[in-house]
């Protein structure tokens, strides 16, 4: 599998962060962007929080645009401006579980989820334990946080 280099990762994460800016601000939710990129470097799907539904997460929105079992997901990378959630309300599947079920082997994030709504998000840990290659781009964390200024995060 071709692993994108750091410049590619930074470029795709900037795209995810630009999608986060499209999110309708919500007092009880993060603004997040996600992009799914094929092994050959082409964009398969993109989404952002609350794109089609007030409770929709970015990874959920992006994954919904691809058919279940799409074979390209087995070698894809998903870029999410925020760590994928590890828990949600009872009727919604956490994004970490959605990524694992989709079979995506590589996840790149800019920012770990702060304990604002969930005391201990363990999305990164759950993905790593399942064998997913998780890459963090801390140099873009501030840009990802900026899309969430409506939450009063410092």
Q: Which long-range contacts (CB under 8 A, 24 or more apart) does 124-127 make?
A: 124/83, 125/86, 126/86, 126/96, 126/100, 127/84, 127/96, 127/99, 127/100
- Rounded Cα–Cα distance for residues 24 and 36 (Å): 21
> Which residue among the candidates 51, 56, 59, 113 is catalytic per the annotation?
59
The four Cα atoms 35, 37, 99, 110 give a dihedral, to 10 degrees, of -50
- Rounded Cα–Cα distance for residues 21 and 49 (Å): 10
Tokens 């079979």, located at residue: 103
Confirm whether 59 is a catalytic residue: yes
Would you name the residues annotated as active-site residues?
59
């Amino acid at each position: 599998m071709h692993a994108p280099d750091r410049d590619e990762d930074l470029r795709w994460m900037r795209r995810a962060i630009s999608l986060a800016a499209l999110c309708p601000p919500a007092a009880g939710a993060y603004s997040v962007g996600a992009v799914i990129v094929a092994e050959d470097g082409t964009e398969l799907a993109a989404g952002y929080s609350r794109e089609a539904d007030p409770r929709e997460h970015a990874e959920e929105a992006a994954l919904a645009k691809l058919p279940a079992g799409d074979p390209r997901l087995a070698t894809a990378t998903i870029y999410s401006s925020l760590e994928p959630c590890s828990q949600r309300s009872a009727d919604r599947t956490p994004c970490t579980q959605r990524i694992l079920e989709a079979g995506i082997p590589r996840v790149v994030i800019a920012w770990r989820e702060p304990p604002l709504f969930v005391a201990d998000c363990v999305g990164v840990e759950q993905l790593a334990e399942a064998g997913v290659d998780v890459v963090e781009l801390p140099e873009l964390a501030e840009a990802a946080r900026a899309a969430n200024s409506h939450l009063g995060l410092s």
